[in-house]
């Protein structure tokens, strides 16, 4: 396996606003003044390969990698592995990161193979690199001043550090566990051997057991035949029972209908008796009605006679009304003549009053 880092692109990451770094084959040396961004480049590479929880130092938060005044930063790392090209795109936001692993297909199209969840990305990278993120972080990457500490420490301390870095202490624990498992396996092996010996003794009894089994099988066959015969009988009985149930249901239905008919007949008898009583009452009523009808006929005849008389009276009244009309007209005419006469009388009286002085004068003469 040969991993080669080819290119790193930084956008709004600490001191880098937009920076692209190309790496050559072999050893690459990055140098510069303090604060120039050497550690940032190393953390960007390590974070793109392992995830940024490994790339940040103790006390450093992921959001500290974002350039001051910016809401997010982005890192792209291009690398090749086993003649295949890959790209890691990381987007850093305050308290959040998204990381995507992509592979370049033969048609030059980038294909997503892991992400954007960090845990999914880390599992895929460990599988791709063939080494855990913890070992890669402890062995291949050595933070600043850590190497000096290891060199200047005592032999026992260096041994403990290397065992911890290389994970040897896990293998020591594994050795102890393996010994315990071997001891347990030996005990289990003895138990199995004893069980095999017991089973060998039991195998010697197999011919006798086989004869007993054969005898039991014959009895079982006979029992099966008897069970089959009994099953047939049971089936016949079940069929007969179902038929009997059907007949019983029909009988119950008929009995119910007969009971209903009996109730209907009793009800009809009662209604007939009631009807006969009503008819007797109606007969008496009819006699009374016949008598009343005779009286009504007499009344009708009297009413017809009265009606005839009424019509004659109405005719006479009409004639009298006509006469009254004429009389009223004559009255009005007479009243009119009287009014005219009254007026003429009043006129004459006036004229007489006017003439009286003249007459007196003439008489005096």
Close Cβ partners of 284 (under 8 Å, ≥ 6 residues apart): none
- pLDDT for the residue numbered 138: 60
For residue 5, give the H/E element and its range: strand 3-13
Q: Could you tell me which of 95, 101, 4, 84 has the C-alpha nearest to residue 48?
A: 101
- pLDDT for the residue numbered 104: 94
Half-sphere exposure of 107 (CA within 13 A, CB side): 2
User: Residue 206 phi/psi, 5° resolution?
Assistant: -60, -45
Sheet holding 16-22, edge to edge: 16-22, 3-13, 73-81, 84-93, 96-104, 110-114
Other beta carbons less than 10 A from residue 134's beta carbon: 13
Q: For 12, which DSSP code?
A: E
- pLDDT for the residue numbered 90: 92
* Inter-residue contact 122 to 51 (CB < 8 Å): yes
Q: Mark out the alpha helices in 56-205 (DSSP H runs).
A: 118-129, 133-135, 146-152, 155-166, 168-204
pLDDT one digit per residue (tens) for the chain, 365 residues: 578 999 999 999 988 999 999 999 888 888 888 888 888 898 888 888 887 776 555 556 777 888 988 889 999 999 999 889 999 999 988 878 889 999 999 999 999 999 888 888 888 988 888 776 666 666 556 655 555 666 677 777 767 666 665 556 666 667 777 888 888 888 889 889 888 888 888 777 778 878 888 888 888 888 888 888 988 988 888 898 889 888 888 888 888 887 888 788 788 788 888 888 887 887 777 778 778 878 888 888 887 888 888 888 888 878 888 887 887 888 888 888 888 888 888 888 888 788 877 777 777 76
CA distance 176 to 48: 37
Phi-psi region of 287 (alpha: psi -120 to 50; beta: other; left: phi over 0): alpha
Close Cβ partners of 163 (under 8 Å, ≥ 6 residues apart): 169, 172
- pLDDT for the residue numbered 9: 96
Close Cβ partners of 54 (under 8 Å, ≥ 6 residues apart): 46, 47, 133, 137
- pLDDT for the residue numbered 110: 94
- pLDDT for the residue numbered 108: 93
> In this structure, are strands 16-22 and 73-81 parallel, antiparallel, or unpaired?
unpaired
CA distance 292 to 286: 10
For each of the domains in the chain, give its residue range(s) and CATH number, in order of start: 3-130 (3.40.50.300)
- Residues 139, 140, 143, 147, CA torsion sign: positive
- pLDDT for the residue numbered 54: 62
- pLDDT for the residue numbered 18: 93
- pLDDT for the residue numbered 17: 92
CA distance 352 to 180: 178
Label residue 47 exposed, middle or buried (CB < 10 Å: 0-12, 13-18, 19+).
buried
- pLDDT for the residue numbered 73: 93
Q: Which residues, listed in sequence order, are joined to residue 104 by a DSSP beta bridge?
A: 110
Other beta carbons less than 10 A from residue 80's beta carbon: 14
CA distance 2 to 82: 6
């Amino acid at each position: 396996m040969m991993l080669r880092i080819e290119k790193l692109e930084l956008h709004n990451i600490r001191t880098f606003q937009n920076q692209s770094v190309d790496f050559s084959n072999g050893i690459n040396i990055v140098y510069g003044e303090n604060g120039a961004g050497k550690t940032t480049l190393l953390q960007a590479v390590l974070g793109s390969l392992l995830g940024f929880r490994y790339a940040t130092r103790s006390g450093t938060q992921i959001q500290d990698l974002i350039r001051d005044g910016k809401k997010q930063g982005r890192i792209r790392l291009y690398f090749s592995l086993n003649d295949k090209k890959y790209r890691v795109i990381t987007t850093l936001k305050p308290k959040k990161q998204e990381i995507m692993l992509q592979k370049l297909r033969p048609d030059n199209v980038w294909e997503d193979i892991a992400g954007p969840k960090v845990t999914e990305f880390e599992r895929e990278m460990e599988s791709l690199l063939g080494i855990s993120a913890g070992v890669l972080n402890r062995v291949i990457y050595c933070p600043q001043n850590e190497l000096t500490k290891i060199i200047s420490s005592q032999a026992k301390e260096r041994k403990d550090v290397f065992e911890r870095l290389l994970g040897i202490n896990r293998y020591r624990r594994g050795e102890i566990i393996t010994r315990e498992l071997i001891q347990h396996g030996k005990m289990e092996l003895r138990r199995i051997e004893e069980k095999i010996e017991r089973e060998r003794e039991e195998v010697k009894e197999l011919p006798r057991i086989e004869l007993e089994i054969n005898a039991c099988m014959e009895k079982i066959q006979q029992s099966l035949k008897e069970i089959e015969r009994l099953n047939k009988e049971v089936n016949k009985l079940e069929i007969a029972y179902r038929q009997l149930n059907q007949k019983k249901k029909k009988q119950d239905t008929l009995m119910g209908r007969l009971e209903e008919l009996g109730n209907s007949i009793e009800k009809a008898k009662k209604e007939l008796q009631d009807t006969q009583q009503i008819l007797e009452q109606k007969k008496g009523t009819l006699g009374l009605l016949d008598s009343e009808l005779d009286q009504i006929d007499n009344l009708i005849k009297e009413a017809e006679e009265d009606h005839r008389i009424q019509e004659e009276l109405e005719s006479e009244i009409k004639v009298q009304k006509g006469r009254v009309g004429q009389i009223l007209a004559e009255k009005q005419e007479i009243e009119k003549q009287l009014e005219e006469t009254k007026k003429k009388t009043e006129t004459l009286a006036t004229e007489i009053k006017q003439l009286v002085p003249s007459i007196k004068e003439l008489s005096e003469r």
